Structure 1
Amino acid sequence: MNVGILSWIIDRQRTGVDNYLYGTVNEMIKMGKSNNITLIHHKKTDDDIYKHCREVLIPYLPLNLTCHLGMPYALMKSKVDLVHFPAHWHTQTSAFFLNRGVKKVLTIHDLIPLLYPESYPPNLARRWNTSLKMIVNHADHFIAVSQKTREDCVKHLNMSPDKITVIPNGYNPIYHPMDNRDEVRKYMKDKYNLNQYILFVGRVEARKNIIPVIRTLHEIKKSGLPHKLVIIGGMGWEHEKVLQEIEKLNLNDQVIFPGYISVEDLVRFYNAADLFVYLSFYEGFGLPPLEAMACGTPVITSNTSSLPEVVGDAGVMVDPLDEEALTSSMHQILCDERKRNKLRDKSILRAKDFSWHKTAKETWEVYEKVCRI
């Protein structure tokens, strides 16, 4: 069995979906599958991952034809039995129609452009949604990163449940409990002038539901707690409302935006935080809560979408619309060291249920199953 994987997304500065593919392919290489993998991308890079697998380049074509015709040509040239599309983009639609002799597996991470189209530029959301509906009946199998995403695909796209396999994400093992938390806290104080704080990691946009967290910070400050709120992530749709709420409550010096930070420092941010809060309305998976748990950070998340699948009983889950419950939960955790330690232990144990090795193994099993059909 020869497998082609569209790998161009790992050639850029990697974020969530890119890390999904990078972690999965690296583990497949460790499993001894290198000779069965062809990585298909736009241009050569010096990344070590390409030293282990065969690679095929997508030829550049004028008039925006590179993806529409160049990608199908590269798939034909690669002579693979199956191609894995690690995420959906409208630019790869033509391959589902032109490469009919190749089995096709598509990973669906979420349906945010369909369910929350306002989170994206209108043209992008429309093209994403239209193209996904076009290729639903032309893929041989789908991978969903959570049971919730699988249910959404069945409900909103009328996909057959039998054609969807749930394979959860893993996480980078760099996210782990650091040995000396006092040294980590000293580092955070020296570099970022931070002592005790609550952490949020993710894009600042309406769907992430950050405003109730800011209001809750305002409430718990009244009780004398010294904590600040640290927000790590880029600015997205309606981020202005978040900034306006901070201004309105006079919390400018209490809500910290450190900007771009290295992965190594992100691990430190997780480890030194007293609490991680993720009150998102909708997630296809929810990687930041998993990274926080892997570092031993107590977690509060919404009880919606896929987040209960990720957090399990290792964190505290609240209704994302219930600010009173959020305030109560945050106050309890921040004031009770024993409770924090208990959540820390449960978080570390829960995170061990997830790994890129497990993701890679189960993904390869899907390849084998599809090729047997």
Structure 2
Amino acid sequence: MRIHQMTAALVYGDAITNDILEIDARLKAWGHESRIYGEHIEPRLAHLGRPQAEYEPFLGKRDDVLIYHYSLYTSNLELYRRSSQRKLVVYHNITPPEFFHGYHRDMEAKCRIGRQALPQLQGCDLAVADSDYNRRELVQAGIPADRTDVLPPFMNLAGLSGAACNPALAGRLRQAGTANLLFVGRVAPNKALEDLIKVVHCYRQAIDPHVRLWLVGAQPMPVYARFLQRLIVQLGLAGVVELAGQVSLPDLKTYYQAADLFVCASRHEGFGVPLLESMAFDVPVLARSSTAVPDTLGQAGVLFHGSDYGAIAEAVHLLLTETGLRRRVIDRQRRRLGEFAPEQVEARLRQALQRVGVG
């Protein structure tokens, strides 16, 4: 059977792109003809995808299946609407536009239009979402609950854990007697990275000055990145908080290996792949209880509420120093991670495909 995947973009290192490529690999392994289309495809990934215009000749092929990944408004929504194929929507969530106000006008507009357009997905045969939080948004958009389900994303944890580490970077990151806090993800306003910076400031003032924070991830919004840099300087944290930018797979592994605690203050997540990457490296997770984060963590990790930076700093200290607590958290994280094993996700993908008529 011929199966098409449509997405906004193929971007190196992006979690949605990784999910799409993993699905593509399995479709081909199961004997299907699989193609990927995007509005934007990074040149280094051009061999993996096709311009979305190349999908148009297949619009009327009723025996084909379209897997439509929705994470941002793009012009290919019109192709989805015009397609007469069986449709499987994969909803990765769209960040509410207000997070980007004053930081990125184009992203604010695309997210606003994207969320307003959610009801246009109602014509699908089945809509799956990364998390139950995302699935509930699909129901709120008018898709009947019995035509929705949860399909966690595939993650390239084996590729990350199997990558070679960077010895030079490891030597720089490891300092005796210093606790290393790590966040991985886009440097974007919904991640509330200013809260993490303020927690580190409180920790150094009230508990222990020997702590560092690494913020690892792409910086697509220069205005927000400059705001964070100013805050770092204002709080006297230059050399303590590092905006590392997007890094290679070996460097990312090195950061995880050097981390003592993964911290996340995000106010909006559709899933949160780095939460599980941390679990793969036995790094305890402390995260804000927001949107899809509780769904992803399950009974693993430690959640916090609100913005009491002093209280959050105390939680950081407990997770850094209480050996028994760390061991219990890591044990729960190992069990939780097993629920996202590739074979588990594969089984759920097969079920979703069967529901749209793929044998």
TM-score range, shorter chain: 0.7 to 0.9
CA distance in 2 between partners of 1:81 and 1:210 (Å): 43
1:3 is the counterpart of 2:3: yes
3-state SS of paired residue (1:296): coil
Map 1:105-124 → 2, pairs under 5 A:
105-113=88-96, 116=99, 118=101, 121=106, 122-124=108-110
Shift of 1:132: 3.4
Shift of 1:200: 0.6
Which residue identity lines up with residue 5 of structure 1 in the other structure? Q
Which residue identity lines up with residue 152 of structure 1 in the other structure? E
Counterpart of 1:63 in structure 2 is none
1:200 is the counterpart of 2:205: no
Shift of 1:18: 0.3
1:288 is the counterpart of 2:250: no
3-state SS of paired residue (1:358): helix
- Going by fraction, where is strand more abundant, 1 or 2? 2
Counterpart of 2:158 in structure 1 is 174
Counterpart of 2:351 in structure 1 is 365
**Does the 8 Å contact 1:319/1:325 carry over to 2?**
no
Counterpart of 1:298 in structure 2 is 284
Shift of 1:117: 5.9
Counterpart of 2:123 in structure 1 is 138
Map 1:41-190 → 2, pairs under 5 A:
41=37, 67=53, 70-76=54-60, 80-88=63-71, 89-100=73-84, 102-113=85-96, 116=99, 118=101, 121=106, 122-133=108-119, 135-155=120-140, 157-174=141-158, 188-190=169-171
3-state SS of paired residue (1:21): helix
Q: What is the TM-score with the length of structure 1 in the denominator?
A: 0.81
Counterpart of 2:217 in structure 1 is 233
Unaligned runs of 5+ in 2: none
Shift of 1:232: 0.4
* RMSD of aligned Cα (Å): 3.2
Which residue identity lines up with residue 19 of structure 2 in the other structure? Y
Residue among 13, 35, 40 paired with 1:39: 35
Q: Cα deviation per residue 1:132-162 (whole Å; 9 max; x = unaligned)? A: 33x223222211110011112223x232211
3-state SS of paired residue (2:227): helix
Shift of 1:278: 0.7
1:312 is the counterpart of 2:295: no
Counterpart of 1:345 in structure 2 is 331
Which residue identity lines up with residue 87 of structure 1 in the other structure? Y
Residue among 235, 249, 254 paired with 1:249: 235
Shift of 1:263: 0.9
Distance 1:5 1:136, change over 3 A: closer
Q: Cα deviation per residue 1:102-126 (whole Å; 9 max; x = unaligned)? A: 1111111113146746375244234
Distance 1:364 1:48, change over 3 A: farther
Shift of 1:359: 2.4
Counterpart of 1:218 in structure 2 is 201
**Does the 8 Å contact 1:167/1:362 carry over to 2?**
yes
1:22 is the counterpart of 2:7: no
Shift of 1:20: 1.2
Distance 1:99 1:113, change over 3 A: same
Q: What is the TM-score with the length of structure 2 in the denominator?
A: 0.84
3-state SS of paired residue (1:197): strand
Shift of 1:314: 2.0
3-state SS of paired residue (1:245): helix
CA distance in 2 between partners of 1:349 and 1:49 (Å): 37
Distance 1:245 1:36, change over 3 A: same
Deviates more, 1:231-240 or 1:298-307: 231-240
Shift of 1:269: 1.0
Which residue identity lines up with residue 89 of structure 2 in the other structure? L
CA distance in 2 between partners of 1:14 and 1:197 (Å): 23
Which residue identity lines up with residue 95 of structure 1 in the other structure? L
